[in-house]
Amino acid sequence: MNVKIPFVDLNFQHQPIQNKINSAIQSVLQNGDFILGQALTDFEKAFSAASHALFGIGVASGTDAIALGLQACNIGVGDEVILPANTFVATLIGVIRAGATPIFVDCCPKTALIDLEAASAAVTSKTKAIIPVHLYGQMVSPLKLLNFAKTHDLLIFEDAAQAHLATRDGYRAGSVGIAAAFSFYPSKNLGAIGDGGMLLTSDAEVAQKMTRLRNYGASYKYYHTDPGTNSRLDTLQAAVLLEKLPYLSEWNRQRLHLAKLYDSELAPLVSKGIIPMQNQSDEGHVYHLYVVKITEDSSISRQDLQQKFIEAGIQTGIHYPIPCHLQPAFANLGYQMGDFPHAEALAKQILSLPMYPGLTPSQVKETVATIAEVLCEQKLVILNT
């Protein structure tokens, strides 16, 4: 297939700063501090400061940031953790790896963010924490979260893997709860050139325990106080991320500008069942993904629309096609179809359109025009039937 508009294209980010990235990599090679090196320390300080947290602990992946981060918050066996059913499976895996029991709740159909009313109904005497997933680049309302946590005496552990520098209610992603997990997978708003993650916290004890857990549970070399593991953000990856971090705010602004253009271009199609996910954060949404719903009011199916995009050379995605509670690997949790109707409905409706810094206005318009063309073709078919 000839790709005219890729779903993600990182060249716009990398090409202008290629020399800086090369120099950063060369510096690590010369210094030879490949594990827990200076670039990692510098990046941990820089990213935590940018996110309004006191401490950053780099780990091997966002999944590890969740799993080890929960353990650092003393969440484990016997504890229930509330999370949305419509998240990437890493959120769930992190809870399970920490030894805790995942308790799914439904989401809000307009935003796809966790439904806090449903979460309130799910709280039991065993519930210890809630994981609000800041999905698609939009934060769950911090003010509502803090009120929820105070009401139920629970910890807030943020999954901010898609929300680098997102803001809402005067808070920045990573600064709301006791801790927050981030991913630096290459396609994230701030992405490495491989896997990587980080836990942010302003709690010194959590930071100290997380620092031990990522490094074999060692307080110092060969003295192990915790049953930890080997999960350290490579110095090489940290060096690249440190070079990219100063550009992140501008890249996020470009994403927001593109999202506004999408909103404007799609406005005539809303009445035809093509509905963008609602932005309730104004300028604070960082649009890791731009997602629309192909609802029952539409004359076309998502499958037909995706096929048309393929023919037009436009790449799209679905985030996510199967909710966590229906994944075969976790059937033992006892959930079934019908338990979370909003999450299940969204899984059948949502479609992620191209979104990245460097995407041009003409490409946005061509993407939307392709949707309009399919709708028009379908209308003609109906009229001629």
Catalytic positions are 188
In 3D space, the residue among 43, 45, 20 whose CA is nearest the CA of residue 235 turns out to be 43
Hey, which residues does 107 pair with through a beta bridge?
A: 114
- CA-to-CA distance for 90 and 69, rounded, in angstroms? 13
Scanning 267-360, the segments in alpha helix (DSSP H) are: 302-312, 341-349
Report in angstroms the alpha-carbon separations of 19 from 98, 206, 247, 297. 40, 37, 15, 50
- Distance, CA of 331 to CA of 57 (rounded, Å): 33
Q: Bridge partners of 257? A: none
For residue 51, which of 201, 193, 255, 184 has the smallest C-alpha distance? 201
For 215, the 3-state DSSP assignment is: strand
- With tokens 């991913």, the residue in question is 183
Do residues 141 and 170 lie in contact, with contact meaning Cβ atoms separated by under 8 Å?
no
> Residue 287, Cβ neighbours under 10 Å: how many?
25
The residues near 191 (Cβ < 8 Å, ≥ 6 apart) are 10, 184, 185, 244
Give me the residues paired with residue 127 across strands. 80
